[in-house]
Amino acid sequence: MPQFTVDEDIAELVERLAKPKPFENLSFNAALRRVLQEHIKPKKVDDELEQLLAGSLAAAKKEPKKAPSPSPQQWAASVPELKSKRGLNTWKAVCVLLKIDTAGDSARRKLKNWVKANRPNWPPVPEISGE
């Protein structure tokens, strides 16, 4: 059986990578075996892992991440006081025009609450499904 000389720094590295429990005595061979087993996985395990990952990634791609926001232009066009105003392309722009402080919150939600409290005769601000 061949014998190899191992430098001290290599032996220390193998010992560190083997992550011995406190006061665990490992021979160099046992530590090296543990390191190799940790870093060289059997092909069967890799194939199973890849199949699982591929399945979950395919499912994630099929489902949309979030529902699209309703159109602020359509809503503003249904409000007589806002119908003639230009540049209402975002919910934030509508809030700025009406001087509604969003304070970093969703402009559409802030506007929805403001309309309920201050302009109950206006059409309701559209909701996002799941809200």
Per the prediction, the chain carries an average pLDDT of: 82
Range of the domain at 81: 72-118
Number of domains in the chain: 2
Q: Give the whole-angstrom CA distance, residue 32 versus residue 112.
A: 64
Whether 67 is covered by a domain: the verdict is no
Q: Which of 18-27, 48-57, 71-80, 119-128 has the lowest mean pLDDT?
A: 48-57
Angle (nearest 5°) at CA 39 between 37 and 41: 65
Positive or negative CA dihedral for 77, 83, 85, 86? Answer: positive
Residues 58 and 76 in one domain: no
Determine whether 109 is exposed, middle or buried from the number of CB atoms within 10 Å of its CB (0-12, 13-18, 19+).
middle
Residue 8: the pLDDT is: 86
The whole-model pTM stands at 0.49
Angle (nearest 5°) at CA 84 between 79 and 85: 95
Decide if pLDDT at 17 tops 80: yes
Whether 45 is covered by a domain: the verdict is yes
Q: Tens of pLDDT along 41-98? A: 666 666 777 777 777 667 666 766 666 778 899 999 998 888 888 888 999 999 999 9
